[in-house]
Structure 1
Amino acid sequence: MWQSGDAYEAFMGRWSRRLAETFVRRVDLPPSRRWLDVGCGTGALTAAVLAAADPVEVAGVDPSEGFLAMARARVPDPRVTFTVADARELPFPDDRFDVVVSGLVLNFVPDPAAAASEIRRVTAPGGRAVAYLWDLAQGMEMLRYFWDAVAELNPAAVELHEGRRYPLCRPEPFGRLWTEAGLTDVTVDDLTIPTPFADFGDYWQPFLGRQGPGPAYLATLAEEDQARLRELLRGRLPANPDGTIPLTARAWVVSGTA
């Protein structure tokens, strides 16, 4: 599901880039810090760090070589290194980084607590550990509309709704993850960005790329069932007179100090 960088970019990359840029501006840390991007994917957050934070170095890790190939092409900077690695077993010594960030990934890690513990381990004393996840239950409208329509057409699929499958994407469990990892001064805030679509085709076409739980589910449906879902969404999504679809996406941001 997480191998094609091109398909991911078409589906979620444009929004993850916008969110990453907004996130780095909000974190607002001094320059010349050592950064680690855990679950760097195709490099959206790494690129945002380079553009706005003036780091002395950035290390990116991700288990998908396909995503890392795109990240290396996107961020050809000598301060950056990309490594295939699992968030639950980071290949770095203790206290290695001043800032450790993770964007839109911890809910997909089989053991988020192990990943949080590793993030705490490699963060230097006094350093910051900050992560963000989409509010899949409510505020990430692109996905909420999709899964609500799926559940209406197939009640048996309600458990596949990402808002139910990933309870970590809520303020209380997200904050608790950081606290139980041993981080202090833990806060959880929200961050919302606009996610407008040019028309219904601009919304629907990326769901055909099989990258992510929604597109992966869609690929299992027969053609006629895909058509029913498509037409339900076409009638359900809000649209302006010019056909544009004005959605927004909210993310939860957890921050703590080592």
Structure 2
Amino acid sequence: MPDERSVHDVWAVGAAYEAYVGRWSRLVAREFVGWLRVPPRRRWLDVGCGAGALVEAITEGAEPSAVLGIDRSTGFAAHARRSVKDARAAFGVGDAPALPVASARFDAVVSGLVLNFVPDASRMVAEMARAGRPGSTIALYVWDYAAGMELMRRFWDAAKERHPEAARLDEGDRFPICAPAPLRALLDAAGLSGVASRAIDVPMHFRDFDDVWSPFLGGQGPAPAYVMSLPEDDRAALREGFRRMLPVEADGSILLTARAWAVRGSKAGRSAR
């Protein structure tokens, strides 16, 4: 078992993130944007924009007037800037608990797959609300690490089978906030109204086991960082244990489900629009 201090929640390289979960988060982002039903020609802010999946979903599905994506990682912000080919989208560097934006500027303030990695979740939501105009939509989503995000759930089950101490790194254990009740409570505590939550399920289709395993060698995120911290023999053993956890079709393909929990609310007051 590696020293826990050597395993970090690493998020910096956009291409590695895309291979790991970015391709699936894009499917969730599209469903999430449709659920919000923000009117067209509105200003959006994406907090912790990562590689740009949610910004892209907004530009493609919400007819925004402008979208600003903010991420603390310069690598992610640069990747998103290169990837999202839309003149309405802009990107900057900043931290979720201290957003570098003026108050009451945006009609929709959103975030995807970020909340659980922020040390003070309530502070992040308060900052999102600060950035929103009266009547704005404040919303976010996170993976259902405890059950419905099958890729990560099966991985950590395999890791703990070999090293029970890996439970300290398992996102399902580390992030109890990633469930409907605590997410709704967080938005309620921020003074938002009309708080609602829902599950968003998307299919994960892998060509074969290599298509599943290769992204775990990219080092982006807790599970890949854990894999790369292991000695080679332990890594090989985990690889085979993980393979046994997966449902393999007759043609070698693997079908899983990725579930995210989404929550939304409205900032008090009426929009000037």
What TM-score bracket applies, with the shorter chain setting the length?
over 0.9
Q: Does 1:137 align with 2:157?
A: no
Counterpart CA distance in 2 for 1:150 and 1:235 is 12
1:87 Cα deviation (Å)? 0.5
SS in 2 for 1:252: strand
C-alpha distance in structure 1 between counterparts of 2:167 and 2:135, whole Å: 43
Question: What number of residue pairs does the alignment pair up?
Answer: 258
What does 1:210-229 correspond to in 2, within 5 Å? 210-229=219-238
1:38 aligned onto 2:47: yes
Match for residue 61 of structure 1? 70
Provide the TM-score with structure 2 as the length reference: 0.92
Residue 100 (structure 1) aligned with residue 109 (structure 2): yes
Match of 2:136 among 105, 109, 127: 127
Cα distance, 1:8 vs. partner? 0.8
Q: TM-score, normalised by structure 1?
A: 0.98
Whole-angstrom CA distance in 1 between matches of 2:261 and 2:131: 22
Of stretches 45-54 and 227-236 in structure 1, the one that deviates more from structure 2 is 227-236
* Aligned with residue 28 of structure 1, among 21, 37, 41: 37
Residue deviations 1:217-242 (CA, integer Å, cap 9, x gap): 11111111111111111122001111
How many Å apart are 1:28 and its aligned residue? 2.3
Q: Distance in 2 between matches of 1:8 and 1:105?
A: 13
2:176 matches 1:176: no
Which residue of 2 is the match for residue 196 of structure 1?
205
Q: Which residue of 2 aligns with 1:239?
A: 248
Which residue of 149, 153, 173 corresponds with 2:158? 149
Aligned-residue offset at 1:29: 2.0
Give the drift of 1:160.
1.2
| Aligned residue in 1 for 2:4 | none
Q: Which amino acid in the other structure matches residue 62 of structure 1?
A: D
Larger mean Cα displacement after TM superposition, 118-127 or 18-27: 18-27
In the aligned structure 2, how far is the partner of 1:185 from the partner of 1:19?
22
Q: 2:195 aligns with which of 177, 186, 191?
A: 186
Structure 1: how far apart are the matches of 2:92 and 2:258?
A: 29
Q: Unaligned 5+ residue runs, structure 1?
A: none
1:165 is matched with 174
1:78 Cα offset (Å): 2.5
Aligned equivalent of 1:252:
261
Give runs of ≥4 in structure 1 deviating > 4 Å.
none
Instruction: Name 1:80's counterpart in structure 2.
Output: 89
* Aligned equivalents of 2:226, 2:188: Cα separation in 1: 34
Distance in 2 between residues matched to 1:111 and 1:97, nearest whole Å: 22
Q: Distance in 2 between matches of 1:27 and 1:112?
A: 21
Q: Could you tell me which residue of structure 2 aligns to residue 4 of structure 1?
A: 13
Structure 2 residue runs without a partner (length 5+): 1-9, 268-273
SS at match of 1:126: strand
Aligned position for 2:57: 48
Distance 2:207 2:30 in 1: 21
Cα separation, 2, equivalents of 1:175 and 1:215: 30
Deviation at 1:74, TM superposition (A): 1.2
User: How many Å apart are 1:79 and its aligned residue?
Assistant: 1.7
Q: Deviations over 1:105-139 (max 9, x none)?
A: 01011111110000111111111011000000000
